[in-house]
């Protein structure tokens, strides 16, 4: 017998489950030449009372581990792992390995089917989010263009963002000791240090067309590219709403009032002239992000 293992081996943990198979007939006297395939495996409970009795050629020995074997006429019985090794020339470990491979194939097939089912909802949600993503990106690019050349302010802003957003002023108390005085918190500041690796152009030119092709497909190839791409889509769908929210919080009027206070209190220098005009402009622009 060249290959005694079926392509998809089923695992059973209870005797009654494999005995419910339509072709299962119980103990049998058969010639080894009539054995066809191992179609299942079972792993029973630790208590001996839960073990099965070998159904092959009157063996009848109780055992915890074994196989469901099929004859060439289609009838099935069970046999212990010792008899399986003797008659089929396979080890239980080999069957276990084949079972795991089969499980992996099934899992990948189910995952591919899930991708097909989710393609249209993913596409609809990305199309809904895309205008807001573009708007948020545009606002952050404009903010960067207006303020990043103010080196002291820009560097301090990122330093505060990395520390969680709290703004502290160092002052001397009544005894002349240096102490920190909280003066506010920059909201949404992680958008400065955790910008997503994707952008709206990538979504529009790469992700949307891919999802459109999946939506029109009846089946897809089960390959690493498909799973990697679908994981990327799910990451965008998780991260995009947070990115939009962070931009809205960051470009809020309260933040700009705090930025102005930071410079007025000496936490950072505003740079050359025009600071007041820039702040007033962005207090107005904050209404666009709201």
> Pick from 59, 64, 57: which is nearest to 15 by CA?
64
**Are residue 143 and residue 265 in the same domain, yes or no?**
yes
**Is there a single domain that holds both residue 169 and residue 275?**
yes
Q: Does residue 240 carry a pLDDT above 60?
A: yes
Asked if 145 and 283 sit in the same domain, the reply is: yes
Do 130 and 230 reside in the same domain of the chain? yes
**pLDDT at 58 (0 to 100):** 86
Q: Which of 2-6, 146-150, 235-239 has the highest mean pLDDT?
A: 235-239
Residue with tokens 């709290």: 166
Q: Which of 62, 78, 60 is nearest to 70 (CA)?
A: 78
Tell whether 124 is covered by a domain: yes
Q: Which two tokens stand for residue 38?
A: 């191992």
Look at residue 81 in the predicted model and tell me its pLDDT.
80
Q: How confident is the model at residue 221 (pLDDT cuts 50, 70, 90)?
A: low
Same domain, 182 and 285: yes
Last residue of a domain, one of 73, 90, 107: 90
Indicate if 119 and 85 belong to the same structural domain: no
55 in Cβ contact with 24 (< 8 Å): no
Averaged pLDDT for residues 244-270? 87
Q: Are residues 190 and 231 in the same domain?
A: yes
The domain total for the chain is 2
Confidence of residue 1 (pLDDT cuts 50, 70, 90): very low
Residues 6+ apart with CB under 8 A from 149: 271
Whether 27 and 166 map to the same domain: the answer is no
Residue 100 falls inside a structural domain: no
Say which residue the tokens 């330093």 belong to: 159
pLDDT of residue 94: 65
Strand partners, 10: 40
Query: If 0-12 CB within 10 Å is exposed, 13-18 middle and 19+ buried, where does residue 282 land?
Result: buried
pLDDT band at 133 (very low <50, low <70, confident <90, very high): very high
List, in sequence order, every residue forming a beta bridge with 185; answer none if it has no partner: 166
Whether 171 maps to a domain, the answer reads: yes
Mean pLDDT, rounded, for 166-172: 82
pLDDT at 220: 64
**Between vectors from CA 80 to CA 79 and to CA 86, what angle results, nearest 5°?**
90
Q: 80 lies in which domain range?
A: 5-90
């Amino acid at each position: 017998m060249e290959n005694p293992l079926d392509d998809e081996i089923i695992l059973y943990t209870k005797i009654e489950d494999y005995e419910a198979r339509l072709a299962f007939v119980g103990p049998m006297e058969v010639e080894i030449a009539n054995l066809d395939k191992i179609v299942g495996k079972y792993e029973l409970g630790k208590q001996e009372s839960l073990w099965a009795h070998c159904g092959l050629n009157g063996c009848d020995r109780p055992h915890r581990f074994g196989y469901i074997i099929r004859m060439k006429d289609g009838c099935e019985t069970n046999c212990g792992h010792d008899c399986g090794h003797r008659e089929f020339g396979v080890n239980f470990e080999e069957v276990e390995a084949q079972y795991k491979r089969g499980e992996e194939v099934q899992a990948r097939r189910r995952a591919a089917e899930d991708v097909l089912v989710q393609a249209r909802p993913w596409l609809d949600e990305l199309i809904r989010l895309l205008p807001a993503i573009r708007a948020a990106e545009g606002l952050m690019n404009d903010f960067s263009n207006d303020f990043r050349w103010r080196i002291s302010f820009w560097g301090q802003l990122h330093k505060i963002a990395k520390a969680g957003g709290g703004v502290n002023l160092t002052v001397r108390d009544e005894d002349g000791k240096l102490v920190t005085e909280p003066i506010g918190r920059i909201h949404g500041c992680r958008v400065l240090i955790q910008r997503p690796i994707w952008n709206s152009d990538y979504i529009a030119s790469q992700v949307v067309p891919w999802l459109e092709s999946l939506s029109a497909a009846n089946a897809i190839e089960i390959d690493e590219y498909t799973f990697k791409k679908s994981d990327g889509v799910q990451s965008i769908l998780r991260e995009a709403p947070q990115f939009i929210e962070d931009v809205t919080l960051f470009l809020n009027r309260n933040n700009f009032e705090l930025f102005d206070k930071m410079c007025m209190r000496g936490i950072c220098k505003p740079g050359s002239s025009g600071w007041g005009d820039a702040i007033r402009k962005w207090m107005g622009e904050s209404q666009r992000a709201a």
